Amino acid sequence: MNLNNRHIKLFIGLIFIVFLSCEREIDLEIPQHESIIIVEGWIEQGRYPEVLLSLSAPYFGSIDSISIMDYSLTGAKVTISTDDDSEILTLTRNTKYFPPYVYEGRRMTGELNKEYHIEVIYRGDTITSSTTIPEVHELDSVWFGSVEDNDTLGLLYFQLTDNAEEKNYYRTLVKRMGKDERFIPTRTSVYDDQYFNGRTITLSLARGISSVLDTDTDSYYEVGDTVWIKFASIDKATFEFWNTYQNEIITSANPFSATNARIQSNIKNGFGIWYGSGVNIYSLIIR
Amino acid sequence: MKYIFTTLCILQAGINLFPQNNCQLQGSVYDKETNLPLQGATIYITPISKGLVTDADGSFKTVLECQKLTIEISFLGYKKQTHTIDISNTSELDFHLIPDTIIYDEVEITEEASLDNIESIKVGTMRLTSIDIEQLPAFMGTPDPVRTIRLLPGISSASDGNSGFHVRGSDAGHNLILIDNVPVYNPSHIMGFFSIFNNNTIRNIELIKSGMPANYGTRLSSILDIETNNGNNQKHEASANLGLISSDLYITGPIVKSKLSFHIAGRRTYLDEVIKPLIKSFISGNSTFYDYSKYHFFDFNFKLRYKVSPKNFISLTHYTGSDIFSLIKYDYEYKNRLRWGNNVYALNWNYLISDKSHLSNTIGYSTYDFDFTASRKDINIELVSSIEDINYKLEYTHHPNPHNILSLGFDYQYHRFSPNNIDATANEADYKFGNNRILYSHEGSIFGNYTLAINHRLTTSLGIRLSGYMHTGPYDEFTRNEAGGIDDTISYATNSILKKYSHAEPRINLRYRLTEFSSFKFTCTKNYQYVHLISSGAITLPTDIWIPSTKNIKPQSGNHFSFGYFFNLLQNQLESSIDFFYKDLDDQIELVYGIINDYNDNTFEEGVIFGEGRAYGFEFYSRKNTGKTTGWISYSLSRTTRIFDEINDGKIYPAKFDRLHDVSLVLSHSINDRISVASSFIFTSGNAMTLPEGRTIIGGNVINLYGKKNSFRMPAYHRLDVSASYQLHKKQRWESVLTFSVFNLYNRANPYYIYFEVTGDVYEYNLDVKAKQISMFPILPSINWIVTIK
């Protein structure tokens, strides 16, 4: 067999296609999905509770501005209660959130170290959950540090002294005035003190993305930004939820990721999170 | 007359100048059951009426005219064998004689007839030689034992690009892989595309998938016992296999003739060097992944064998190999490096006490490690995992006659584990991932196995293995307070015992001969496994880690039953079997999160969960070993399930490599002395996987809601490979063969992984999800040139 250059080139060409591998769109038969009630609700000390409700959608099929209304849950009865008080929340429209409806409290505000129960009744289904607002913790300090060779961009840092006698979980969110509509979790947003129990540590607050579809993946802050930093104490279930949530977002399309990790919901008969936060808010003008 | 004289002179000169073509006929004769050399076996060369007798090493040699010969190999108490061979085409021959259990019934075992399938008490043992492997279509022209065994019944791989193999519903970590009696922990290169075994160095491969005798253990499922060749102790030989992406070289020969022989082999890929410069001529436009990445692997094998005396043999085997991958993206300041490899030494001493008893000793050292580093801007992470073993095994075999075999012995392993040592720094913060923990353990067993032919119908093989395990210090154990913080640390001193386990592992094999050409075989075995391979991802990776049993991690155990009907058809030309099996596995281990998530002071133990496994099914196998056309068909129908309290709400679910159907069809045909063709076809049910069934939006992100664990099936996997080899040159001193092979002939896009891509904008109320399938191998032709110098 006479192998001229063209043949050899063709062979090699065919071979390295392997190492590029091949990717294509496929159709899959997916089992029917029965919608479940999704809860994202929170209560902070001194503030009214807020609860977002929706119905889960089948995995496949597009969502557009018409079908989205099918998954908004606007006709539910949402009750927040403590051992000695309760309040039925009121539905209001708020485009900061998605779907754009929030069930809000008008009378009862959160108190530290108190337990709060949620009950959602919708078309005969009742879903429940409970949470507490843990004691507030202070940061030692917060500051801005610019990146090398760039005076206008940088990261925020904070110093925290952890209480050795307590088991602590924390969450950090940041809102840039005039740029973000709401507090956005930082890139690493939840912390378990088992890695620094009783120690004084310094951590950075890399800017997170507001959604997985957000194309602004830069993690820096700019000189001139006014930022609000929300430092929240949370309980274990809340930590587990946001920690597994973060893992799921990072790894859901990655074959190398663990397969047994799932988002740990604290909602009975539904899915999502009802959480209390002991919150401290710090503001910083970056100069 | 003058011309006639001149012609005769030239002819005479020619004869003098080119001495008569002589070839060496040499080889060894072994007992098929015990694999021990047979001293005093007779080799009778029919055409020239010449006889030879094997020495204590079971070996024979002579020099003959190069030609096709018929030889008879016989020994009292064994079936006689007749073979036709072309000695100009062979270097060393091994014959395995079968004990003759039918007294006075001298069935001539010729090339066309073997009763091994019917007679052997080794129920689930399959044997391959390097020649069997060479005959099949090879991936990228590289013959590969592990890829070949995946074509046998009951053996499957998870998919393309998955390392390891699964035997009857067991995990990849349930297989013990031995090179000259020493364990090797990761048999794969480049995620299973190639195994670490260089076919040139292999003499014999034995795969025990059921009926494991008591002299083997330490794993639940199977033994892949790879015996390397002893090297040619008479003359030097070399062969090279030149391929498009890798080449290998093999050299063997005597250092002291008839006494000390060696082989040395090396293999390296040159994907980077060959392919990368060419990529730009095929792919124009944007820079690709290849601009940033580099990958290669290499293997190195070496063996020395010394015949101290006719009854004493010492050999030293060494294997080392590594895969090295790196990815550097300068614009993102991103660097990533992954390296993994094995390193094995085996020192074997075999002593023939008499022609009826034999002592073998092995001292081994084996390591496996991987090292992963990644850095982006000022975030760095390094993950190192390793296992280091020192082994010793002593086995005494006594076979007073071919119908009775007694094996006694013990083995010992010292393990040093470093399962998941992680260093990470993010910005200025130094993450505390706990101490870099090293775990020490000792494992050992004493065993006895007795094979007895009760009568000409019934043969039994009974064995017991008493195994023990200790996790020893130094070790720091933490106790936690209610808040989960570390309350106290208990430090154990070196060699202090933290935990002991001991178990009895009975092994029973029965063979009942129904007729001359059929038998029933039954096996029942119990196994314990004290070291565990845990998988970190949805696919098997080199980053899967080995962990030891500890106080909190119990040894895994398994019971395996199998019952089969073995029969030969068409005058023994077709060796066939139907085998039913049932296997249950206890204390199976899964990681809840990945290995990197498990970064805390608690050790890896808090990141693992325990459950049970089950597998059952039946296998059909029919094989033709003789004639111009050889091959086999195998079919398995089986179910493999797992159950863990923490997974799938505690309900039973299919294992990811559960395969209802698994079919292999292998054919090779020799057209003439120069040309042969081969093909292999494989069809298996798709892998089980977990799919999202619903989705929602939380925190502004689309969140998947998953269905039941592994409730979805990927599309079926099927593939046809073909090859042809053509002998270009065949001279006394050298020969060369050109092989063409086509992998995945009809270009099936087999699924490797399925993922989902979400596009659109939540706040614009516009979202779409598409399923994407990644496939590894399209149609893949390759050409290799194999040159052998004798």
pLDDT tier, B514 (very low <50, low <70, confident <90, very high otherwise): very high
State whether B538 and A196 contact (CB < 8 Å).
no
The CA distances from residue A100 to A70, A173, A242, B283, in Å, are 13, 21, 22, 46
Question: Who among B432, B592, B701 is closest to A196 (CB)?
Answer: B432
Q: What is the mean pLDDT of residues B313-333?
A: 82
Question: Cα–Cα distance between B454 and B469 in angstroms, integer?
Answer: 36
State whether B593 and A259 contact (CB < 8 Å).
no
Question: Who among B484, B693, B773 is closest to A24 (CB)?
Answer: B773
Q: Residues B205-241, buried b or exposed e (16+ Cβ, 10 A)?
A: bbbbbbbbbbbbbbbbbbbbbbbbbbbbbbeebebbb
At CA B623, angle to CA B619 and CA B628, rounded to 5? 160
Show residues of chain B in contact with A24, CB under 8 Å: 749, 772-773, 775
Q: What is the mean pLDDT of residues B450-475?
A: 92
Three-class SS of residue B748?
coil
Q: Give me the total of CB pairs closer than 8 Å, taking one residue from chain A and one from chain B.
A: 252
The per-residue pLDDT for B282 is 46
Q: Tell which wins on pLDDT, B7 or B645.
A: B645
φ, ψ (nearest 5 deg) of residue A263: -65, 130
User: Any idea which of A3-12, B15-24, B492-501 has the lowest mean pLDDT?
Assistant: A3-12
Question: Cα–Cα distance between B412 and B467 in angstroms, integer?
Answer: 10
pLDDT tier, B620 (very low <50, low <70, confident <90, very high otherwise): very high
Are A121 and A76 in contact, with CB atoms under 8 Å apart? Answer: yes
Show residues of chain A in contact with B245, CB under 8 Å: 15
Q: What is the pLDDT of residues B716-770, one digit of tens each?
A: 889 999 999 898 888 878 888 898 988 889 988 887 777 777 676 655 666 677 7
State whether A256 and B779 contact (CB < 8 Å).
no
The per-residue pLDDT for B284 is 42
Strands (E) across B651-733 are located at 653-654, 661-670, 675-684, 688-689, 692-698, 701-706, 712-713, 717-730
Show residues of chain B in contact with A22, CB under 8 Å: 749, 774-776, 778
**CB of B711 less than 8 A from some CB of A:** yes
Give the distance from CA B770 to its chain's centroid. Answer: 38
Chain A residue at shortest CA distance from B483? A167
Are B434 and B601 in contact, with CB atoms under 8 Å apart? Answer: yes
**CB of B755 less than 8 A from some CB of A:** yes
Nearest-CA neighbor of B208 among B144, B155, B172, B169?
B155
The per-residue pLDDT for B332 is 56
Chain A residue at shortest CA distance from B589? A260
The per-residue pLDDT for B320 is 96
Residue ranges of chain A whose pLDDT lies below 70: 1-24, 28-31, 61-69, 211-217, 250-261
Q: What is the pLDDT of residues B250-282, one digit of tens each?
A: 999 999 988 899 999 999 887 666 555 555 454
Task: Supply the pTM of this predicted model.
Answer: 0.79
Q: What is the mean pLDDT of residues B69-85?
A: 80
Nearest-CA neighbor of A221 among A239, A203, A208, A236?
A208
Chain B residue at shortest CA distance from A270? B705
Place of tokens 């490979």: B721
Are B667 and B631 in contact, with CB atoms under 8 Å apart? Answer: yes
The per-residue pLDDT for B705 is 84
Show residues of chain A in contact with B192, CB under 8 Å: none
Chain B residue at shortest CA distance from A235? B483
The per-residue pLDDT for B285 is 42
The per-residue pLDDT for B614 is 96
Nearest-CA neighbor of B723 among B139, B131, B239, B130?
B139
**CB of B63 less than 8 A from some CB of A:** no
Question: Cα–Cα distance between B702 and A223 in angstroms, integer?
Answer: 32
Indicate the average pLDDT of chain B.
Answer: 81
Q: What is the mean pLDDT of residues B289-314?
A: 83
Question: Who among B537, B704, B752 is closest to A252 (CB)?
Answer: B704
Are B199 and B229 in contact, with CB atoms under 8 Å apart? Answer: no
φ, ψ (nearest 5 deg) of residue B648: 60, 40
Show residues of chain A in contact with B764, CB under 8 Å: 65
Nearest-CA neighbor of B37 among B53, B57, B52?
B57
A115 min Cα distance to partner chain B (Å): 19
Say whether the peptide bond before residue B781 is cis (omega within 30 degrees of 0): no
pLDDT tier, B714 (very low <50, low <70, confident <90, very high otherwise): confident
A269 min Cα distance to partner chain B (Å): 14
Show residues of chain B in contact with A166, CB under 8 Å: 483
ipTM score: 0.84
Environment class of residue B103 by beta-carbon count within 10 Å: exposed (0-12), middle (13-18) or buried (19+)?
exposed
pLDDT tier, B114 (very low <50, low <70, confident <90, very high otherwise): low
Count of C-beta atoms within a 10 Å radius of residue B571: 9
